[in-house]
Amino acid sequence: MRFLVRLLGGIWIATLVVTGGFAYLEVQDERAKLSQDLQRRAALAGDAVREAAEPLVARGARGGFERVLKRFARPDRGIAIYDEFGSVLAASVDVKPFLGPVLPQVSEAIQKNAAARQLVSLGGRTTWVHVVPLQRDDRPVGAAAVFLDAQYLESSEWSLWRRTAVRLGVLILLLSGITAILVRWSVTRPIARMAEWTKQLKSGHPVALPPDADASLFGSLAMEVTGLARTLARARSAAEHEARLRLHGESVWTEERLKQFVQMRFDDRRIYVVSNREPVSHVREGRTIREIQPASGLVTALEPIMLACGGVWIAHGSGNADFEVGDRLGVPSTDPAYTLRRIWLTADEENGYYYGFANEGLWPLCHIVHERPLFRAGDFEHYRRVNEKFARALLDEMAGADAPIVLVQDYHFALLPAMVKRERPDARLALFWHIPWPNFEAFGICPWQDEILTGMLGADLIGFHTQFHCNNFLETVERTIEGRVEWDRFAVVRGQHTTHVQPFPISVASEPGDGPPRSRASLLAELGSPADLLGVGVERVDYTKGLPERFRAIRRFFERWPEYRGRLVFVQLAAPSRTRIPRYQELQQEIRDAVRKINEELGDRDWRPIIYRDWHHDHQEIRAYYRASDFCMVTSLHDGMNLVAKEFIAARDDDDGVLVLSRFTGASGELRDALLVNPYDIEDMAEAIRLAVELPPEERRARMHRMRAQVREQNIYRWAGRLLAELARIPEPTHIEPR
């Protein structure tokens, strides 16, 4: 309130000074104009009277004066004629009573033989007096005076001040009203909402996201408060989580435990992550820049580790506004926990390394999806150069750091481990391969298999999701390059260097939910669907994910069980991916056509069986769908792990919901309570959908409960803890043999 009064006081004073100042100048101007006009009129009248009276006075012909008065006097203009001593010879009636013995202006005009003028008060009224000498042979023989009423000068001045006062009053009222409303809407209310939100946060109840504050108004303060509140909320929920676990005697890995573990095992040694995909991208939307988290299982998994341990994450800056934001930034922007170092790639590098060798070559090579890999020498050359570029950046970042810990991610960087290890043998280097590893025959079609394998074996530790992929890898090494594979301890020895190969099934953070879930009814209402049952799928549009097969199964389900038409809707959140690759463009078209056809053939005016949303959705939105749906479908034709399956389970803090899961995902090895399907078997999948909506609630809950326990225990902190523990066990710094 005091702030408002001060603000309004300031506005009032400013308005008063400005309006008053301008009014003063206006009054002066008006007054000057009016008095000029008055003087001009008086001078004209004076000349005219002089012309008529001069001969009469010169001749002493008094009889003519009355005629002069009659001719020139008016109600607002008095006339007087004087002799050479300044005595009145004749005067018009309205001024006559007020003319004293001698008017000073008259004496002055006669003495100086020149016109005299002045503003005087005559009979209580302001009057302009203009006196001209009457001459004979150029000598003054008398004078003629003109009296013009000048009272209106004052009254017009006053009316101007009055108008100004009214204007000022209205202006002050309006400004005060508008300011009060603006302050209420833009300052008081947001602050009150923020305060209420902070209060709820303090009370320990689950709360939704903080209300948006106007960044242009509160700027960095709002960001800091929000960041601080989020950190507090995270810290509190982590502490509660820890306490709960201790109470139940559970030894689950948590963010805090990982933090402590890293400090104990590695002291102050820094962690460096290298991946192609960055944890946050900046994209330009009109005049603003938005921060998004790319759709990537890798990011979902690695981000909690970096939040817990800090360090440097080196990744390709691929957002269209990344360059504007910069190549080194603290993440998250609201409360930085680690540093993102962005690497810029030219269009040719990106095409050859990412779209070409990594995603048209290695990606189909490693997935059994009957998609022929494309190997081009130019692409491999770019792949090698980009690996070098990242290696150089990593070496720069690590300069001065003692025995750094490096976690290299995925098939984009098969050559990097050897490049780095050669320069920094003291670094502890792990490479985690997020996709499957094929059998040695399949891998053998890669023209650069030797380079790939020797590059990877620069790492001290190579991780895959499953033992099966580890075995495939070791067999590939054994049959392809020189070196000793020690099957008893799953290691490859080449010269002095040993690489350990182990399975580390990746997972998600599995943390308590953030705020109450959105109701299914409100989600469906927003989608405009009359259905009451909801299925969901969340994928990048990729041919490994089995989307066409899934939609065929949905069609089959509605054909076999038509009673569900109008009652069930399947929402597919599909993030566009690798869209420059022709195969991905074809797939997008194929899927859109398939969805349209199914909707046309099975749907009606109100109900569509499939709602296809092919754009980026953020974590909050995806979580809302996970939590509101009856079932989630993951139907990959082949998948290293698949974190959508685990994210869905982690989101279901109501212990409800059914997971339909492809048996060709790594996740199916752990989540045995999912409804496991063969995505190539359409009847099998249709049957699984029916089961998903018809499972008795107790069984549904029991299955979800067991899966949640599994995901809670085998979470991402445990994954990171195990991987780092293995890395720490590796004895002395080793050096790699020159090739």
- Interacting residues toward ligand F6P by CB under 6 A: 276-277, 296-298, 410, 434-435, 540, 577-578, 640
- Percentages of the chain per state (helix, strand, coil), in multiples of 5: 55, 20, 30
For residue 306 the two structure tokens come to: 């970096």
Shortest distance, position 412 Cβ to ligand F6P, whole Å: 7
Q: What is the dihedral of CA 412, 417, 423, 426, to 10 degrees?
A: 140
CA 664-669-673 angle, to 5 degrees, is 105
CA distance 701 to 657: 7
Shortest distance, position 573 Cβ to ligand F6P, whole Å: 14
Nearer to ligand F6P, 198 or 636 (CB): 636
Nearer to ligand F6P, 341 or 494 (CB): 341
Shortest distance, position 562 Cβ to ligand F6P, whole Å: 37
For residue 605 the two structure tokens come to: 């005016």
- Phi-psi region at 34: left, alpha or beta (left = phi > 0; alpha = psi -120 to 50): alpha
Shortest distance, position 386 Cβ to ligand F6P, whole Å: 14
Shortest distance, position 737 Cβ to ligand F6P, whole Å: 30
For residue 491 the two structure tokens come to: 């290691």
CA distance 461 to 498: 9
Residue 470 φ/ψ, nearest 5 degrees = -60, -45
For residue 380 the two structure tokens come to: 């491999």
Nearer to ligand F6P, 433 or 612 (CB): 433
Residues 6+ apart with CB under 8 A from 94: 73, 75, 78
Nearer to ligand F6P, 296 or 449 (CB): 296
Q: What is the dihedral of CA 314, 317, 318, 323, to 10 degrees?
A: 170
Shortest distance, position 379 Cβ to ligand F6P, whole Å: 15
Nearer to ligand F6P, 80 or 345 (CB): 345
CB count in 10 Å sphere of residue 635: 27
Shortest distance, position 241 Cβ to ligand F6P, whole Å: 26
Largest CA distance in the chain: 150
Shortest distance, position 374 Cβ to ligand F6P, whole Å: 16
CA distance 667 to 632: 14
Shortest distance, position 507 Cβ to ligand F6P, whole Å: 13
Nearer to ligand F6P, 353 or 551 (CB): 353
Q: Are 46 and 131 a contacting pair, CB within 8 Å?
A: yes
Residues 6+ apart with CB under 8 A from 623: 513, 514, 651
Residue 502 φ/ψ, nearest 5 degrees = -145, 155
Q: Are 520 and 650 a contacting pair, CB within 8 Å?
A: no
Nearer to ligand F6P, 127 or 715 (CB): 715
Q: Between β-strands 675-677 and 116-122, what pairing exists: parallel, antiparallel or unpaired?
A: unpaired
CA distance 376 to 53: 118
Shortest distance, position 396 Cβ to ligand F6P, whole Å: 24
Q: What is the dihedral of CA 330, 332, 335, 339, to 10 degrees?
A: -30
Nearer to ligand F6P, 73 or 302 (CB): 302
CB count in 10 Å sphere of residue 8: 16
The continuous run of DSSP H or E covering 136 comes out as strand 125-136
Nearer to ligand F6P, 435 or 610 (CB): 435
Nearer to ligand F6P, 50 or 277 (CB): 277
Shortest distance, position 576 Cβ to ligand F6P, whole Å: 10
CA distance 410 to 435: 7
Question: Coil, helix or strand for 292?
Answer: strand
Tell me which residue has its CB nearest to ligand F6P: 298
Nearer to ligand F6P, 254 or 281 (CB): 281
DSSP 666-686: GGGGT-TTSEEE-TT-HHHHH
Nearer to ligand F6P, 241 or 277 (CB): 277
Shortest distance, position 276 Cβ to ligand F6P, whole Å: 6
Shortest distance, position 292 Cβ to ligand F6P, whole Å: 13
Question: Coil, helix or strand for 269?
Answer: coil
Shortest distance, position 297 Cβ to ligand F6P, whole Å: 3
CA distance 594 to 599: 9
Question: Coil, helix or strand for 121?
Answer: strand
DSSP 480-517: HSSSEEETTTTEEEETTEEEEEEE----------SSPP
Nearer to ligand F6P, 117 or 540 (CB): 540
Nearer to ligand F6P, 95 or 581 (CB): 581
